[in-house]
């Protein structure tokens, strides 16, 4: 059974809790995309799309802590090997308001794992990282759920059920 079929099975049995679980797993895979967006799109048409977006955003924020942890764990290794790189990452992150930068990159279709690793590497506050990631992912995933809510019935009408 592939991840898409497994995800569908989990969400169909557990509802919103299944969406949370699927999104945690989907977002915790660093640099390896899993089809969590398809599940959000589909169940946005079946369940309350706003609640799907917020629950999925929470799951995504929890899952993105994996990238943060990798960066945080690699901080000592990077600073021992190349202190200039670590200082450059921290100054780049602090050049702009990092909280809003994290929200922006979490809200757009961008490989967010890079941002998580950089935040962990620069030792950005994990609570702020989590909150900003939750807000940005909730925005993005609510849009995906709403696209499913409005788009899936149209697709089914056009292509026949």
Pair 53, 142: CB distance under 8 Å: yes
Residue 145 · residue 57 · CB < 8 Å = no
Q: What is the pLDDT of residues 42-78, one digit of tens each?
A: 899 999 999 999 999 999 999 999 999 988 887 666 6
Radius of gyration for the alpha carbons in the chain, expressed in angstroms and rounded: 17
**Whole-structure pTM value:** 0.84
Lowest mean pLDDT among 23-32, 77-86, 90-99: 77-86
Q: Report the Cα–Cα distance between both ends of the chain, in Å, rounded.
A: 25
Q: What does each C-alpha distance from 66 to 45, 120, 158 come to in angstroms?
A: 29, 10, 40
Q: 114-159, pLDDT tens digit by residue?
A: 888 888 888 889 999 999 999 999 999 999 999 999 988 887 778 8
∠ Cα 11 17 18 (to 5°)? 25
């Amino acid at each position: 059974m592939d991840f898409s079929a497994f995800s569908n099975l989990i969400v169909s049995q557990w509802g919103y809790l299944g969406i949370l679980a699927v999104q945690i797993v989907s977002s915790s895979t660093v640099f390896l995309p899993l089809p969590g967006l398809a599940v959000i799109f589909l169940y946005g048409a079946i369940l309350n799309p706003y609640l799907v977006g917020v629950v999925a955003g929470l799951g995504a924020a929890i899952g993105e802590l994996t990238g943060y942890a990798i960066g945080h764990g690699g901080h000592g290794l990077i600073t021992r090997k190349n202190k200039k790189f670590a200082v450059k990452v921290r100054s780049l992150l602090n050049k702009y308001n990092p909280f809003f930068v994290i929200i922006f990159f979490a809200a757009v279709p961008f490989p967010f794992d890079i941002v998580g690793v950089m935040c962990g590497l620069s030792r950005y506050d994990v609570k702020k990282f989590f909150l900003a990631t939750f807000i940005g992912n909730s925005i993005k995933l609510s849009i995906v759920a709403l696209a499913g809510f409005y788009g899936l019935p149209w697709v089914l009408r056009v292509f026949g059920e």
